Amino acid sequence: MRWSFLLTCATVLVSIAPSTHATEDLGDAEAGKVVFAQCQGCHQVGEGAENKIGPHLNGVFGRKAAGLEGFNYSKSLVRAGNSGLEWHADTLSAYIENPRAFASGTRMSFRGLKDPEDRANVVAYLRAFSDNPQDIPEADPTAKGTDHSIDPAILAIQGDPEYGAYLSSECTTCHQIEGGDEGIPSIVYWPDEDFVVAMHAYKDKQRPHPVMQMIAGRLSNDEIAALAAYFNNPE
Amino acid sequence: MTLNRRVFLGAAGVVAAGLSAPMVLAQGKPRVVVVGGGAGGATAARYIAKDSKGEVDVTLIEPSRTYYTCFFSNLYLGGFQELSDIAHSYGTLAANYGINVVHDWATGVDRDAKTVSLAGGGSIPYDKLILSPGIDFVDGAVEGWDVSAQNKMPHAYKAGSQTELLKAQIMAMPEGGTFAMVAPPNPFRCPPGPYERISMVAHVLKKNNPTAKIIVADPKPKFSKMALFQEGWGNNYEGMVDWIGEDFGGGNVSVNPDAMTVTIDGEETKVDVCNVIPAMKAGRIAEMAGVTDGNWAPVNAADMSSKADPDIYVLGDASQQGDMPKSGFSANSQAKVCANAVRSALTGSKVFPAKFSNTCWSLIDTNDGVKVGATYEATPEKIAKVDGFISQTGEDADLRKATYEESLGWYAGITSDMFG
């Protein structure tokens, strides 16, 4: 898995302009900014962004569909949100490919972006206006492209999922294995790297939460890798 | 991978046949009996059943068909939770985990025959017995009070009808009336519990009966999260709470349930509600099993096994383990260490090192949550504290709100960890 991730990275890095840090197949944010020009007639993003014809797009990652208070969404999108649709890289991409196909009653009158690279790029651009995965619990667990300074040797550790399953019982007192995230974030199905980076950020007290600093503080590198391996795909 | 029991049997079968086989092997499936379906017992039963994947027969003995968690019962008193929010049933443990749930009282343990007798008749054999019976009260701990007075002066320290009764009494207090609490001496279940309760009662009275008073007679000179609670009482319920600690005679208390009076250090006061939380001891079955020493049951830190009997384990409030507070979180944490050890003893599964942790959240007022927590490790002598933290006085409102919301998330997490 780690290998396939590295290979994807390498391909992307070779084929697209140099990027400051590794991003999976998320796309190129600079190119996405250009694509976003098509969206600007209705949507604002960035500092001071407000709702216009469409809702502003700050913090859209991880947000429930039709989840912005004070914006008058179509019933169709409200229903989708209530049925559990959240905006992540994959759902955003599917939506902007053909909004009406995705949510038939949407008021978003846009014919869609057919080119997968354009979509990946614009999603990468929007990603910059959502919380960074360093800042969990606010972060979007499926966010990609983590900026960190973790030793590659630590990231390369292959975790033992069986040990992780035992260690996980300390986590599941608070974090639900089914992934509920009211008050306490979901920690299941994260990419291994995001999990490891987050735990080391607590261990090193870069992230502020006292319970997590305490729990992570006594986990070894191998134990963190084991937990990442387990929670990546529990059962 | 790991040493699988069948593989082990296959290799050792020829040799074992000629010797006296261990009991576990002779009788087929090993049997675990768990007494008490709270944070310790329900968690242990669930983890053993879940992780042994049918290799271990698990029976859970718990008299209540509906279990009310003691944690969050104060929030019910404060009007932040409905009683139904803290009620749980054992259906999922039976249906999805194959646990044999027996709603009956365990009335005795025969350690030689390795059986647990039931109030309804009959007995259940075990290879390993896990006792997680919570607490009972020490007889004569508060002069004038015994369990027969609990209807007039409720303890509400085992959640359910007692909690409902106390709430009804608070709501029926006359204008400007007096709520009294007799707080327990150490060690007791849920160290911040009495003080969170005071906060919740004050919250309700401030809304409905703002001239009412609260007096607390406490045999201790200090208590858990004291600075945080006292700051909160001063800021939110100014002049309402009168805490009388050991230095002012808080430990010299008697009550008269018929006259509804409380006498603190010789001074008698007529009160409208009196919440008596007496000194505590391990739930009685621990004593009947002969695993207690004084009020509590000493255990080995590495696996929660009783110091009196290697086939009996004691979890949670009833155990005497060292530094961990008696809390639902602690019991849940201990249960997982115990489940891992019991499963290993019975099926040869891998044993991982014991790790324990605890966090206690308390609510002081609306969106004003605080917490205290620590991590622990097993040493040869006891469960020893490694590291800890506590909320600070003067924290901003956003952090307090986030802490409260976190406690709601924790409640959802731990109850699904217990009941599936």
CATH 1.10.3720.10 is right for the domain spanning A23-130: no
* Side chain identity at residue B327, one-letter code: S
**CB distance B388–A214 less than 8 Å?**
yes
DSSP string, A142-161: T---------HHHHT----H
Task: Count Cα neighbours of A62 within 13 Å in the Cβ-side half-sphere.
Answer: 20
For the beta carbon of residue B7, count every other beta carbon within 10 angstroms: 12
pLDDT per position as a tens digit, A41-81: 899 998 889 998 999 999 888 888 898 888 999 887 887 78
Q: Report yes or no: B61 and B118 within 8 Å, Cβ to Cβ.
A: yes
ipTM score assigned to the predicted complex:
0.82
Q: What residue segments make up the domains of chain A, in order of their start?
A: 23-130, 135-140+149-232
Same fold, A23-130 and A135-140+149-232: yes
pLDDT per position as a tens digit, A214-231: 999 999 999 999 999 999
**CB distance A183–B405 less than 8 Å?**
yes
User: Which chain A residues contact residue B355 at CB under 8 A?
Assistant: 167, 170, 218
Residue A152 has pLDDT above 50, yes or no: yes
Count of residues in chain B: 420
Report the alpha-carbon distance of residue B10 to residue B4 in Å, rounded.
Answer: 10
> DSSP 3-state assignment of B395?
coil
> Can you tell me which residue has the tokens 């890095």?
A13
User: Which chain A residues contact residue B340 at CB under 8 A?
Assistant: 166
Nearest to A173 among B51, B407, B417 (CB): B417
Closest CA to B70 of B184, B195, B163, B199: B163
Q: How large is the average pLDDT for residues B131-159? A: 97
* Side chain identity at residue B308, one-letter code: A
Closest CA to A152 of A28, A27, A21, A19: A21
Angle at B247 between CA B243 and CA B251, to 5 degrees: 75
**CB distance A211–B329 less than 8 Å?**
no
User: Which chain A residues contact residue B350 at CB under 8 A?
Assistant: 162, 166
pLDDT per position as a tens digit, B52-100: 999 999 999 999 999 999 999 999 999 999 999 999 999 999 999 999 9
Question: Which residue of chain B has the CA closest to A175?
Answer: B413
Instruction: Provide, for chain B, the percentages of residues in helix, strand and coil under a 3-state DSSP scheme, each rounded to the nearest 5.
Output: 35, 25, 40
* Side chain identity at residue B170, one-letter code: I
Q: Report yes or no: B364 and B199 within 8 Å, Cβ to Cβ.
A: yes
Q: Structure tokens of B387? A: 């590291």
Domains and CATH numbers, chain B: 29-137+280-350 (3.50.50.60), 147-276 (3.50.50.60)
> Can you tell me which residue has the tokens 């090192």?
B353
> DSSP 3-state assignment of A10?
helix
Report B:334-363 residues touching A (Cβ under 8 A): 336, 340, 350, 352, 355, 357, 359
**CB distance B413–A180 less than 8 Å?**
yes
- Give chain B's mean pLDDT: 93
B409 touches chain A (CB under 8 A): yes
B333 touches chain A (CB under 8 A): yes
Residue A6 has pLDDT above 60, yes or no: no
Closest Cα in chain B, distance from residue A67 (Å): 19
Q: Report yes or no: A127 and A144 within 8 Å, Cβ to Cβ.
A: yes
B220 touches chain A (CB under 8 A): no
User: Cα torsion for A11, A231, A183, B384, to the nearest 10°?
Assistant: -130
B399 touches chain A (CB under 8 A): no
Nearest to A166 among B352, B389, B405 (CB): B352
Q: Structure tokens of A70? A: 């004070």
Q: Which helix (H) or strand (E) holds A120?
A: helix A116-127
For the beta carbon of residue A104, count every other beta carbon within 10 angstroms: 10
Residue B109 has pLDDT above 70, yes or no: yes
Q: What are A's interface residues with B at a Cβ cutoff of 8 A?
A: 162-163, 165-167, 169-170, 172-178, 180-184, 210-211, 213-215, 217-218
**CB distance A170–B355 less than 8 Å?**
yes
Task: Give me the CATH topology for the region A135-140+149-232.
Answer: Cytochrome Bc1 Complex; Chain D, domain 2 (1.10.760)
The greatest distance separating any two alpha carbons of chain A, rounded to the nearest whole angstrom, comes to: 52
Q: Report yes or no: A61 and A141 within 8 Å, Cβ to Cβ.
A: no
pLDDT of residue A136: 44
